[in-house]
Amino acid sequence: MENIFLWIPIVIYVAIVTFVFIKSLLKNEASTAEKTARGTGDYKGILLLFTILGTMIGPGFSYGAIEEFYKYGFFYTGFFILACVQFWFFGHLFAGRIRKIGESNETAGDILGKAYGKPMQILVGFLTVAFSIAIVAVLGSAGGKVLSSVTGLDTHISVIAVITFVTIYSFFGGIATVIKTDKPQFIFVLAFCLIGVGVAIYYFFFNHTTVDFSTIFYFNTNQMPVSQMINIAIAFLLGEAFIPVYSIRGMIAKDENTAKKAFKRAAYIGIIWFILLTFIANAAHCIDYNSNKLVYLDFIQSILQGTWWGMLLIGLALAGMLSVVMSTIDSILNSAGVSFRKDIMQQIFPAISKSESQMFVYSRYAILLVAIFGVFFAIKSSGIVELLLIAYAIWVPAVVFPFVYYLIRNKINNKWSGFCGTVSGIITWVIFNYFIKCISYPLPKFLVSLHFFKYSI
């Protein structure tokens, strides 16, 4: 009987997302390549905030954050808050500018192509697809653990099931469906957090046991070297800057001011979010962590199991965990599909851009490609945060500085400078990844890329 209460919230969640998807499908909201990329209009502030938050505090950050907070206490909290600081600066300095110059564009590659030329746009297109595969692998791995915990299915089968479900509605629905499903998904995401906080409050204050706070409030117990701390800080501060999924959010905002406010408000909420996750993770020290699951999942199950209402809350939390996975995967798949069509196929084969229906098909091909490779790497991946840092380690040196320079200066003297900076960043990443063995840290590669970019300006 308890299993029924566990499944009720999950079934409700799947039904709501399916309903939104079918409704969008019947309205034919992704009937063209342009509608796949930009939806059916310019999105207002609250809707944009939901969809930014759904992606920003996704499982790569939320599940990975709880894992790190569980191991290192407040030490990692500062790193994750740096990601929120990045969002604030992105909103304050760049989101409005992206909205202004990207009004007629569909991708980050469009903007960089306008600044540095066609070779740069093609290169950024390939980077976008590769980056998207890495992120989908991270999310699929997290989602597979969640679904496996609910159903008892093999984790690999669960990974395939999660990514397949998201791929179906991303494949047919485009950005319109992605944004509309983000609204109900964010409500479930809030439930995920509130249930965890409630269980943590119970553990700390109402379970009639003495809490030894000396074992909870600790800092850098693994004695991480300062150089490593700086590199991780750079990864969090710059890792998601200007990634395509956020650049697209800036382009589809109602106006420049809406884009700015949405990103800055997401930053404020994100800071509160990660502080609450730290609270949950520290309370989780009451459990004997099963690394085959997730810290959060083990924690709430250890406290709530045994009653019908407890199982109902666990089911609601699990639905929230699935929603935080899916609200990010669908965004990544959509941005990858649009970038493949616009930045790669349309630039290499300009003749095919005359056929809107053919362009639409190419976007869908890319979504399938990213989903399939995402499944493969999700099955092979060892850790959530580690894979995120690897993805950031190539994006930061390759793209961030050319993008920032153009947005600030609005003037490029040498169009090949961006291409040179990006290529040097990629080459440096390969050298550090395969020869110097420093894959997780973007700072050395970023400095090399910056040197070549500045030299070529």
CATH number of the domain where residue 90 is located:
1.20.1730.10
- Cα distance between residue 172 and residue 336, in whole Å: 14
Q: Both tokens of residue 385? A: 């945060």
pTM: 0.82
Structural domain including 181 reads 2-456
- Cα distance between residue 324 and residue 328, in whole Å: 7
- Using one digit for the tens of pLDDT, what is the confidence trace for 285-344? 777 776 667 888 888 888 888 888 889 999 999 898 888 888 888 888 888 888 898 899
What's phi and psi for 371, nearest 5 deg? -65, -45
pLDDT of residue 16: 92
Nearest to 83 by CA among 243, 240, 232, 278: 240
Nearest to 442 by CA among 407, 398, 405, 404: 398
Q: Both tokens of residue 412? A: 């490029």
- Cα distance between residue 238 and residue 24, in whole Å: 35
Q: Both tokens of residue 272? A: 């509160």
- Cα distance between residue 297 and residue 5, in whole Å: 16
What's phi and psi for 73, nearest 5 deg? 65, -135
Structural contact between residues 124 and 343, judged by C-beta atoms closer than 8 angstroms: yes
- Cα distance between residue 455 and residue 13, in whole Å: 53
The 3-class SS string of the chain reads CHHHHHHHHHHHHHHHHHHHHHHHHHCCCCCCHHHHHHCCCCECHHHHHHHHHHHHCCHHHHHHHHHHHHHHECCCHHHHHHHHHHHHHHHHHHHHHHHHHCCCCCCHHHHHHHHHCHHHHHHHHHHHHHHHHHHHHHHHHHHHHHHHHHHCCCHHHHHHHHHHHHHHHHHHHHHHHHHHHHHHHHHHHHHHHHHHHHHHHHHHHHCCCCCCHHHCCCECCCCCCHHHHHHHHHHHHHCCCCCHHHHHHHHCECCHHHHHHHHHHHHHHHHHHHHHHHHHHHHHHHCCCCCCCCHHHHHHHHHHCCCHHHHHHHHHHHHHHHHHHHHHHHHHHHHHHHHHHHHHHHHHCHHHHHCHHHHHHHHHHHHHHHHHHHHHHHHHCCCHHHHHHHHHHHHHHHHHHHHHHHHHHCCCCCCHHHHHHHHHHHHHHHHHHHHHCCCCCCHHHHHHHHHHHHHHC
Work out the number of other CB atoms within 10 angstroms of the CB of residue 220: 12
- Cα distance between residue 398 and residue 24, in whole Å: 36
pLDDT of residue 212: 58
Structural contact between residues 371 and 401, judged by C-beta atoms closer than 8 angstroms: no
Structural contact between residues 311 and 3, judged by C-beta atoms closer than 8 angstroms: yes
Please give the distance of CA 208 from its chain centroid, rounded to a whole number.
39
What contacts 436, CB < 8 A, 6 or more positions away? Answer: none
Structural contact between residues 269 and 53, judged by C-beta atoms closer than 8 angstroms: yes
Angle of CA points 118, 119, 121, to nearest 5°: 65
- Cα distance between residue 452 and residue 128, in whole Å: 21
Q: At 429, which amino acid appears?
A: W
Please give the distance of CA 370 from its chain centroid, rounded to a whole number.
14
The total of structural domains in the chain comes to 1
What CA–CA distances, in Å, run from 417 to 216, 252, 254, 423? 49, 28, 32, 10
Residues in the chain: 457
What pLDDT tens digit does each residue of the chain (457 aa) get? Answer: 457 888 899 899 989 999 988 888 888 888 887 778 777 778 888 888 888 887 777 655 677 788 878 877 777 888 888 888 988 988 888 888 888 887 777 888 888 888 888 999 999 899 888 888 888 888 888 888 888 877 778 888 988 998 999 898 888 888 888 888 888 888 888 898 899 999 988 887 777 566 555 555 555 556 677 777 777 787 777 767 677 778 888 888 888 899 999 999 999 998 999 888 888 888 887 777 766 678 888 888 888 888 888 899 999 998 988 888 888 888 888 888 888 988 998 888 887 766 777 778 888 888 999 999 888 888 876 555 566 666 666 777 777 778 888 888 777 778 888 888 788 777 777 777 666 655 455 556 556 655 555 555 5
pLDDT of residue 1: 44
pLDDT of residue 135: 82
- Cα distance between residue 72 and residue 75, in whole Å: 6
- Cα distance between residue 439 and residue 391, in whole Å: 9
Q: Quick one: CA dihedral 173, 178, 181, 185, positive or negative? A: positive
